Amino acid sequence: MSKRVTIDPITRIEGHLRIDVDVEGGKVSRAWSSGQMWRGVELILLGRDARDAWTVTQRICGVCTTVHAIASVRAVENALQMEIPLNAQYIRNLIILAHAVHDHIVHFYHLSALDWVDVTSALKADPDKTAQLAESLSSWKLNGRHEMKAVKERLAGFVGGGQLGIFTNGYWGHPAMKLPPEINLLAVAHYLQALDVQRKANKIVSILGSKTPHIQNLAVGGVSNPISTDSQSVLTVERLLAVKGWIDELADFVKNVYLIDVAAVGAHYADWTKYGAGVTNYLSVPDLPQDTKGTKFLLPGGYVPGGNLAAYKPITSFNDEFWGKGVEESVKHSWYDYSEEKPLHPYKGETKPNYTDFQDNGKYSWLKSPTFYGKPAQVGPLARVVNMLAAGHEPTKKYATLALDTVSALAKTKVGLDAMHSTIGRHAARAISCAVQVDMLADQWQALVGNIAKGDVATFNKPEFPKGEQMGVGFHEAPRGVLSHWVVIADGKIKNYQCVVPSTWNACPRNEKDEPGPYEASLLGNPVADAELPLEVLRTVHSFDPCIACAIHATDVENASTIRIKAS
């Protein structure tokens, strides 16, 4: 006898990501991941000037806006085989990194930590013991007993006021919560500090990108930031120094708080290293170009099939053939029709909707199902870290070792790299990746300042569109993983455009061979103690940092609940 549980989150009136699981004997036996919204941006772009595509594509989303802008200019630049001035690469890299660091901090503390941290239990913590524990783990300045005591008092007032909303019943206090009160209090204190720190990452994006969300400084061929060392209205030394100040604060927090907290939480949830591996074909792309042509990258990427690091194959340039020829998308289980019944390469991709309602064995999602050489692939921080380790990337090795050693010391047992292929491992990988990227942020700042000091102030090369047809792909290692935009240009106008986004790789429905996508595969075998409160399912889905579509923001005073759990 199996029980069907549907988690259909509604922001207010419309669902975007729907997860269905069949639960048998306290475990998930079958799973479906369904995108509940139609994107359609590809159709809006047809016939438009290729130089404008980035402003339209970044409107796909209101959170990860910069990533679509970056992938889009890169696609058109790749079609024209353009070179990009070094300053433009560095400025783009700084925006990319600041956005990634922001995304990762917010994801852990504000969106998913509460799956693991029981806030009400923090009220039972001893602030002195919490401070002792915290100071034994890191040198962070805000770990003292007075800080912990103040946080506990504020929390007590907040809980007393009933403002924990629906969490009070069911979510918090759930039997799957395992952290001791002191770690819960520590996490709450850092949750509050993270609210302050994340603003600094956003400031870097808005200073360099002119605005966030939706940066305004890109152009096919470079960036529109004029550089001058002595004018008020452009990118000045003063602004660059402000950016450096924020980078230093972010680095302190990421390395001394975020990475340590993830290890401390992970050490108490050793069970969760056994669940949630799912698809272990890991795909990432190289990013942070260090030359004008995009052939040298600071962050390596590639493909690791079946979790076997020895089988790593690198992707090495924007023109890489191994990458370019490997991607296809199937619509067998998606609400689209193709003119032929087989997966298509994105250059030949079609966007013809065919909505059928939710069919367990047929079509059930607006997401297509992408594959890499015919296989489903997981993308995101875990894929990024696995590939960087396989590539022998020293900074990644350093932070991965630090995280695993901290977990091992707290759990009093040796925890190795194998534990990373799991629900909790995805959180660890995100923190490791964030530590690597926050160092790269400082590195790219130095590179930009160094290059300007040489007298180079170029930021833009004008694109020239020849007659006839060109094709290009822009890839980007976004916070949630591999993002690619594929464009076909005819006489300067867009003839075809396809976006293959990270959450399509991870949240996709079954593929042409009926193999489940990464979300679906990761849920199989997950424990579900109480089908009415499937916290365990949320833990695994959250570990991917799901990001499906843009939200609607109406204030609902009637219905505080946004997750509907239907058991039938």
Partner 1 sequence: MRVVVLGIGNVLLGDEAVGVRVIEALQDYALPPEVELVDGGTCGMELFDQLIDVDLLIVVDALLAGKKPGEMVRLAGAEIPVFFRSKLSPHMIGLPDVLASLEFAGHTPKEAVVIGVQPESFALSLEMTPLIAACVPELVSRVLDELSAHGWYAPRLAEAA
Return the residue of 167, 322, 358, 460 that touches partner 1, per CB under 8 A: 167
Torsion (CA) 559, 560, 565, 568 in degrees, nearest 10: -30
* Binding map of partner 1 across residues 73-112, x = CB under 8 A, - = no contact: ---------------------------------xx--xx-
Contact between 159 and partner 1 by CB under 8 A: the answer reads no
For residues 485 and 498, give the distance between their C-alpha atoms in angstroms, rounded to a whole number. 6
14 catalytically annotated: yes
Strand-pair category, 336-337 with 301-304: unpaired
Q: Report, in angstroms and rounded to the nearest whole number, the Rg of the chain calculated over CA atoms.
A: 23
* 365 catalytic residue (yes or no): no
Q: State yes or no: residue 561 binds partner 1 (CB under 8 A).
A: yes
Q: Answer yes or no: 508 catalytic.
A: no
3-state SS string over 372-391? ECCECCECCHHHHHHHHHHC
- Considering the rule CB under 8 A, would residue 310 count as an interface residue with partner 1? no
Active site residue 61: yes
Question: Per the residue annotation, which of 68, 102, 104, 510 is the catalytic one?
Answer: 68
Cβ pair 390, 301 in contact under 8 A: no
Confirm whether 434 is a catalytic residue.
no
**Contact map string, positions 205 to 234, toward partner 1, x by CB under 8 A:** -------xx---------------------
**Active-site residue, selected from the candidate residues 112, 334, 365, 503:** 503
Nearer to partner 1, 61 or 400 (CB): 61
Of 370-378, 467-475, 514-522, 538-546, the window that binds partner 1 (rule: CB under 8 A) is 538-546
* 241 touches partner 1 by CB under 8 A: no
Could you check whether the bond before residue 343 is cis, i.e. omega within 30 degrees of 0? Answer: no
Site membership for partner 1, residue 347 (CB under 8 A)? no
Q: Does 166 participate in binding partner 1 (rule CB under 8 A)?
A: yes
Which residues neighbour 83 within 8 Å (Cβ) at sequence distance 6 or greater? Answer: 292, 293, 461
Catalytic residue among 33, 39, 64, 284: 64
CA distance 91 to 57: 20
Q: Which of 41, 101, 487, 547: binder of partner 1 (CB under 8 A)?
A: 547
| 12 part of the interface to partner 1, by CB under 8 A | yes
Under rule CB under 8 A, residue 417 binds partner 1:
no
CB 145, CB 135: distance < 8 Å: no
Told to judge if 547 belongs to the known catalytic residues of this protein, a careful annotator would answer: yes
What does DSSP assign to residue 352? E
Report d(CA 149, CA 155) in Å as an integer: 10
Chain centre distance of CA 404: 21
| Residue number with CB closer to partner 1 (12 or 141) | 12
Pick from 523, 511, 514, 521: which is nearest to 369 by CA? Answer: 511
Inter-axis angle of helices 423-453 and 394-411, nearest 10:
140
Q: Would you tell me how many other CB atoms lie within 10 Å of the CB of residue 114?
A: 18
Candidate list 242, 344, 531, 538; residue touching partner 1; CB under 8 A: 538
CB of 547 to partner 1, least distance (A): 6
Least distance between partner 1 and beta carbon 149 (Å): 14
Q: Which two tokens stand for residue 177?
A: 């919560």
Residue 130 sits in the site that holds partner 1 (CB under 8 A): no
In eight-state DSSP terms, residue 49 is: B
The answer to the question of residue 344 lying near partner 1 (CB under 8 A) is no
Contacts with partner 1 by CB under 8 A: the residue count is 53
Nearest to 214 by CA among 104, 76, 88, 63: 63
Q: Looking up tokens 């590939």, which residue turns up?
A: 387
Residues that bind partner 1 (CB under 8 A): 7, 9, 11-14, 16-17, 61-63, 106-107, 110-111, 114, 154, 158, 163-167, 171, 192, 195-196, 198-199, 202, 212-213, 538, 541-542, 546-563
Active-site amino acid positions:
14, 61, 64, 68, 480, 503, 547, 550
